[in-house]
Amino acid sequence: GEDVEQSLFLSVREGDSSVINCTYTDSSSTYLYWYKQEPGAGLQLLTYIFSNMDMKQDQRLTVLLNKKDKHLSLRIADTQTGDSAIYFCAEILRSGYSTLTFGKGTMLLVSP
């Protein structure tokens, strides 16, 4: 079955690192994504990782993938108040139909 799970809430102080975690159940996942949703806005693609990779770094963002444990994480270095948003983890399967399975989202609150 397909299921993506995330913790619902994370609170950090400005300047600290944030780590948002996600677990998925389908080992057939080909791509795993992180989307960011600010209040009243749509989902913005942040980054993605192909399933044959362990890590991907993009400026302040680091994605780690542990395929054995089916665990995905997003680390945000030097977290800023503008990073406050809901972060969604999503997986796409090898079915070729391009449908994403989303987690419920993690609300990140960054305090000054």
Binding mask 16-35 for other proteins (x = CB under 8 A): --------------xx-x-x
Q: Which is nearer to other proteins, 40 or 82 (CB)?
A: 40
Q: Is 75 in the site for other proteins (CB under 8 A)?
A: no
One of 88, 89, 106, 110 touching other proteins (CB under 8 A) = 88
**Residue 82 phi, psi dihedral angles, 5° rounding:** -70, -10
Q: Return the beta strands (E) in the chain as ranges.
A: 4-6, 9-13, 18-24, 31-37, 43-50, 55-58, 61-66, 71-76, 85-92, 100-102, 106-111
Count residues contacting other proteins (CB under 8 A)? Answer: 20
Q: Is 43 in the site for other proteins (CB under 8 A)?
A: yes
The CB density around residue 110, as the number of other CB atoms within 10 Å, is 20
Q: Is 41 in the site for other proteins (CB under 8 A)?
A: yes
CB 75 within 8 A of CB 19: yes
* 95 dihedral zone (left: phi>0; alpha: psi -120 to 50; beta): alpha
One of 1, 42, 82, 112 touching other proteins (CB under 8 A) = 42
Q: Under the rule (CB under 8 A), what is the footprint of other proteins?
A: 30-31, 33, 35, 40-45, 48, 88, 92, 97-100, 102, 104-105
